[in-house]
A and B are shown apart, each in its own frame.
Chain A
Amino acid sequence: MTTLVLEAAVLGVLTGGVYALMASGLTLIFGVMRIINVGQGALVVLGAYLGFVLLRQWHVDPFLGLLLTTPALFVLGVALEVVFIRPLRTDRESLSVLVTYALALGIEGVLGYLFGADYRQISVWYDTATFQVGGFHVAVVYVLGFALCVAILAGLGLLLYTTTFGAAIRATMLNRAAAQLIGIDVERVSAIAFGIGMATAAAGGVVFGITTAFNPGSHYDLISRLLTIIVLGGLGSLRGAIVAALVMLVVQDVTAVLLSPTWAAFAFFVVLVAVLVARPQGLYGLRVRERI
């Protein structure tokens, strides 16, 4: 039993890394633009389908395929921001939720039209390979996916904390008006942040597609988890999103072993309620003073 629980915890950390990557894009978009991108889940699913098609049609390894799909989704993200989010002038925070929800439905509709409702999974030749560490069986794809996510998150951290553009993003997150006053083009920063958010969704989507079966409707489940994670971490906090993703996935996978897999997803939301009762601003709330 202890081994099973430990194995579940290790798996939770590994999948938690993937969720951390997907959620980091979401919380970055919120931090910069103060909008919730409910379409993030649909873009993850889109990323998974892109990886699936690249492998099936052109036999491109999905991890290598990211070199194509992440730039493509980055451009798509910038375009979506310019066309759909930027025109929102009044009541942005609420209306953007509805707009991105509509985008999610549109993507679900297009994917469903092209691929049908059948569940798919990206099957790479190494997806059954495992190795043993200290008596645990660990699947290679999970470790690869985790390593990829850590690498991208580290890259994101370097971008944010060592470059001038990163400073512009952080300034916009702290105070949009003041950033504009000192000459930062916040509209451009917003578009690029949205693009980065999409690109992380594509990368997360490929790992998601390898480890999980998905269909066009999978985004509902994904987005409810991702939103829970970023609310738990505190909206706009990258560090919070990463910690929350790891905690949530470990809780979920351990619940699956201890109780039953059908209750695992429920544990997710129970933690959310518990945290909200104690700390409405989340673990690392960026806007503590505004919220209380």
Chain B
Amino acid sequence: MRQTWGAWAAAAALAVALALPLASLDPSVLNIAVFTLMYVGLATAWNIIGGFAGYISLGHAGFFGIGAYALGLLVGHLGVPGGYGPFLLVPVAGLLTAAVAVPVGWIALRTRAATFVIVTIAFMFMLQILATNLRGLTGGSQGLGYPAPEGWSPRFVDVPFYYAMLGLAAVAVLAAWWIRGSKLGLGLRAIRDDEDRALALGVPTWAFKVTAFTVSAALVGMIGGVYGYYVTYVYPQFVVDPLISLSMVLMAFLGGTGTIAGPIVGALLLEPAQLELAYSVGEARLYLILYAVLFLVVILVLPSGIVPTVADRVGSRRARQPVAPAPAPGEAAPP
């Protein structure tokens, strides 16, 4: 029952998303849509290590930055002209990000819980320093430019990026969905609940953690690449931005970590609201305060997130009705 519901909802959402550019070619709407889809992908990718395994990374903006720089450098050095070409190199940027993620995960995943959070933060700032200091490679604080897409009208220019972000978001959701149902996903949840016991029961915790971390990072890196091409210029402090890390974490927590729908719901609710706030409030500082308040409310009022809370409510209401068959308790509340 739940399975078919989920499949229908996913199909309907995808159909609406595919049709959106046809319905509205208004650049400002598409611009919001591009960033919203970007965060759907980012929050979903973060969830693979942060939600499934419970390893909260606050350094994922580092991988976002690696992807953005990797694609920019590839495009620049191979002399790919602006247009559809750079999109074809996005998977390569993902592979390069994964190549960095393996050693980083190898070191960071030796630590747990709070120490892991700290190591990921340190990693992010390390990358920020590298991006600023390796001027010969990255252009330092002058930034790294992408070729401008030629022949795309201002009304059309958002459309390819919209579909690219949609595709990556879909890949991320499919990857999360597949992992969640696989033996890997089961092992990751065992790690989240009790890592030592999982190890004792024969879960290859080490391999599982590094795999999940790398997949998560590669997805974030690919999205970072498309972002870099979209904004045409990448600067160390704007792609390796602590707020990008924090946004994906907040969205996953708002929707519900460890679920598939949670990060999607969180991103769909938060990112348009955030962009709207940034446009209307304007004052960057006030926006930080609002963000902080929102975050505190989410964690203190809805610590398990929207999707699990709603599922709980629905489940308990069904259970109270004597005629309807009561669902098993485990089924009603996805972990």
Is A228 in the interface zone, CB < 8 Å from B?
A: yes
Does the CB pair A266–B130 fall under 8 Å? yes
Does the CB pair B299–A98 fall under 8 Å? yes
Does the CB pair A94–B54 fall under 8 Å? yes
List A95-113 residues whose CB lies under 8 Å from chain B: 95, 97-99, 101-103, 105-106, 108-110, 112-113
List A103-135 residues whose CB lies under 8 Å from chain B: 103, 105-106, 108-110, 112-113
- Which of B56, B246, B304 contacts A94 (CB under 8 A)? B56
Cβ distance B258 to chain A, nearest Cβ, rounded Å? 11
Chain B residues near A87 (CB-CB < 8 A): 300
Task: Determine the residue in chain B with the shortest Cβ distance to A265.
Answer: B129
The secondary structure that dominates the A interface is helix
In the complex, A263→B284 CA distance in Å?
30
Is B107 in the interface zone, CB < 8 Å from A?
A: yes
The secondary structure that dominates the B interface is helix
Cβ distance A227 to chain B, nearest Cβ, rounded Å? 4
Does the CB pair B115–A106 fall under 8 Å? no
Cβ distance B211 to chain A, nearest Cβ, rounded Å? 20
Is B275 in the interface zone, CB < 8 Å from A?
A: no
In the complex, A102→B303 CA distance in Å?
14
In the complex, A277→B114 CA distance in Å?
17
In the complex, A230→B291 CA distance in Å?
28
Cβ distance B88 to chain A, nearest Cβ, rounded Å? 34
Chain B residues near A89 (CB-CB < 8 A): 303
Q: What 1/0 mask marks residues of chain A from 70 to 91 whose CB sits below 8 Å from any chain B CB?
A: 0000000000000010011111
- Of A45-53, A202-210, A268-276, which stretch is located at the interface? A268-276
Task: Determine the residue in chain B with the shortest Cβ distance to A94.
Answer: B56
Does the CB pair B126–A113 fall under 8 Å? no
Does the CB pair B114–A220 fall under 8 Å? no
Does the CB pair A105–B288 fall under 8 Å? yes
Is B313 in the interface zone, CB < 8 Å from A?
A: no
- Of B71-79, B117-125, B153-161, B263-271, which stretch is located at the interface? B117-125
Chain A residues near B249 (CB-CB < 8 A): 98
Is B296 in the interface zone, CB < 8 Å from A?
A: yes
In the complex, A89→B299 CA distance in Å?
11
Does the CB pair A106–B117 fall under 8 Å? no
Does the CB pair B110–A280 fall under 8 Å? yes
Does the CB pair A276–B111 fall under 8 Å? yes
With A94-B54, A102-B295: A272-B122 Cβ-Cβ less than 8 Å:
yes
With A109-B288, A113-B285: A95-B303 Cβ-Cβ less than 8 Å:
yes
With A98-B253, A269-B126: A35-B107 Cβ-Cβ less than 8 Å:
no
Chain B residues near A109 (CB-CB < 8 A): 285-289, 291-292
Task: Determine the residue in chain B with the shortest Cβ distance to A260.
Answer: B133
The winner among B58, B122, B295 for most chain A CB atoms within 10 A is: B122
Is A36 in the interface zone, CB < 8 Å from B?
A: yes
List A28-69 residues whose CB lies under 8 Å from chain B: 30, 34-36, 38
Chain B residues near A276 (CB-CB < 8 A): 107, 110-111, 119
- Which of B54, B133, B300, B304 contacts A266 (CB under 8 A)? B133
Task: Determine the residue in chain B with the shortest Cβ distance to A107.
Answer: B292
Is A163 in the interface zone, CB < 8 Å from B?
A: no
In the complex, A18→B117 CA distance in Å?
24
In the complex, A36→B58 CA distance in Å?
13
List B173-209 residues whose CB lies under 8 Å from chain A: none
Is A185 in the interface zone, CB < 8 Å from B?
A: no
Does the CB pair B291–A105 fall under 8 Å? yes
In the complex, A174→B295 CA distance in Å?
32
Does the CB pair A235–B115 fall under 8 Å? yes
In the complex, A291→B130 CA distance in Å?
30
With A227-B118, A276-B110: A95-B299 Cβ-Cβ less than 8 Å:
yes
- Which of A99, A220, A231 contacts B115 (CB under 8 A)? A231
Known: A108-B288, A269-B122. 20 other contacts (CB 8 A): A30-B114, A34-B114, A88-B300, A93-B113, A94-B113, A98-B56, A101-B58, A105-B289, A105-B295, A106-B288, A106-B293, A227-B122, A228-B118, A231-B122, A235-B114, A262-B132, A266-B129, A266-B133, A276-B119, A291-B112
Residues of B within 8 A of A (CB): 54, 56, 58, 107, 110-115, 117-119, 121-123, 125-126, 129-130, 132-133, 242, 246, 249-250, 253, 283-289, 291-293, 295-296, 299-300, 303-304
Residues of A within 8 A of B (CB): 30, 34-36, 38, 84, 87-91, 93-95, 97-99, 101-103, 105-106, 108-110, 112-113, 216, 220-221, 223-224, 227-228, 230-231, 235, 262-263, 265-266, 269, 272-273, 276-277, 280, 291
4 closest Cβ contacts across the A-B interface? A109-B288, A106-B292, A112-B285, A109-B289
